Amino acid sequence: MKVLVTGGAGFIGSHVVDALIEEGHSVAVVDDLSSGKREHVNRHATLYELDIRSPDLDQVLAQERPEMVNHHAAQVDVRHSVADPVFDADVNILGSLNLLECAREHGVRKFIYASTGGAVYGEPIYLPCDENHPLNPVCPYGVSKLAVEHYLYLYSLSYGLEYTILRYPNVYGPRQDPSGEGGVVAIFARQMVHEEQVVINGSGEQERDFIYVDDIVRASMLSVDRGQGQVYNLGGGAGVPINELFAKMKEMTGYASEPVHGPPKLGETFRIYLDAGKAREELGWEPVVGLEEGLKRAIESFRDAP
């Protein structure tokens, strides 16, 4: 099958590209390389260096004629979305609409969308959040990602586009950029292996659901032929406090210093973790890489990085 992966030079998207090619699919990548890296793109994939907002996107789909789109390209920084909500909406909503229109025009059958479980629910009423939890995002990023979920429902209803929505937790692993789209694991790992000062934003008591990138990729692959018209949380069902994460990584790396606490990040949910029971029942998915093993792999990848 021919697949178009947006954001395929980025952290998660590049791993998805690798998995698709390993399973024998033909893959084209659209990425403007604003945060993705050319060297992360599988050599068997065709790379189009292009912004998803570009009118030239239509030409790419006309040429490639993909049967499926796996959409990872996005503005993913919560703080940036708070500082510049217009830019966030421009990329995440209008860019995605441009992609959807191109998909409709050129006969795409299936659309897999990387959404966020960490931002669409807002401050949880109950934990872990399942897919029935109220959707009240507290940052523009969460609003923009949720808006595209609604557009997917509309395009399915109006044009027959099949889709599966995957709401990601805090994903970590090799290729994550600690200076760009990086999550806390990538940031801590880089700082610890280089003996730099670790800064924890806020009290460190905030909790997140950490899932290793290989498990996220497996969910994406399972969605190729399953989950039509469905939304799935991906997560482990339990939160890990940031202070606890720091302690684990400090022990693993032999980091000698204590953290410094900075101000909390505006727009970020304090405590969030996800119930993935629906994904387990309908996709046959559950995380298999435990936090200890995943952190070990992530840390080693930063030790090996230049």
Q: What's 74's domain CATH number?
A: 3.40.50.720
User: Chain centroid to CA 99: how far?
Assistant: 18
Question: Are residue 100 and residue 187 in the same domain, yes or no?
Answer: no
Give the separation between CA 162 and CA 103, rounded to whole angstroms.
Answer: 11
Residues 76 and 193 in one domain: no
pLDDT at residue 73 is higher than 60: yes
What's the rounded mean pLDDT across residues 227-255? 97
> In the prediction, which pLDDT does 266 show?
81
* Total count of residues recorded for the chain: 306
Q: Specify whether 229 is located in the same domain as 186.
A: no
Residues 141 and 157 in one domain: yes
By the 10 Å C-beta count (0-12 exposed, 13-18 middle, 19+ buried), 24 is classed as exposed
**140-157 in b/e burial notation, b at 16+ Cβ within 10 A?**
bbbbbbbbbbeebeebee
Range of the domain at 28: 2-170+212-233
Flag whether 277 is in a domain: no
- What's the CATH code of the domain at 248? 3.90.25.10
Q: Give how far Cα 100 sits from Cα of 49, 53, 182, 190, 212, Å.
A: 19, 11, 27, 37, 29
Q: Is residue 144 part of a domain?
A: yes
Please report the pLDDT score of residue 178 as a whole number. 85
| Domain match, 181 and 141 both | no
Q: Examine the pLDDT at 180 and tell me if it is beyond 60.
A: no
Same domain, 135 and 220: yes
Q: Alpha-carbon distance 201 to 246, whole Å?
A: 12
Per-chain mean pLDDT for the chain = 96
Active site residue 141: yes
d(C-alpha 33, C-alpha 203), whole Å = 34
Residues 245 and 155 in one domain: no
pLDDT score for 245: 97
Q: What is the mean pLDDT of residues 63-78?
A: 96
Helices (DSSP H) in 65-139: which residue ranges? 78-83, 85-89, 95-105
Q: How confident is the model at residue 36 (pLDDT cuts 50, 70, 90)?
A: very high
Whole-structure pTM value: 0.96
Is 265 a member of any domain?
yes
Q: Which residue has the higher pLDDT, 303 or 117?
A: 117
Q: How sure is the predictor about 215, in pLDDT bands with cuts at 50, 70 and 90? A: very high
- State whether 186 and 59 are in the same domain: no
Segment 101-127, tens digit of pLDDT? 999 999 999 999 999 999 999 999 999
Q: Is residue 125 part of a domain?
A: yes
100 and 149 co-located in one domain? yes
Note whether 136 and 192 are same-domain residues. no
Q: List residues bridging with 240 in a β-sheet.
A: 208
pLDDT at 181 over 60: no
Query: Is 166 domain-assigned?
Result: yes
The total of structural domains in the chain comes to: 2
The DSSP letter of residue 117 is T
Residue 173, both tokens: 């692993």
Q: How far apart are CA 283 and CA 168, in angstroms?
A: 15
Are the C-beta atoms of 163 and 226 separated by less than 8 Å?
no
pLDDT digits (tens, 9 = 90+) for 40-56: 999 999 999 999 999 99
Catalytic residue among 48, 113, 141, 232: 141
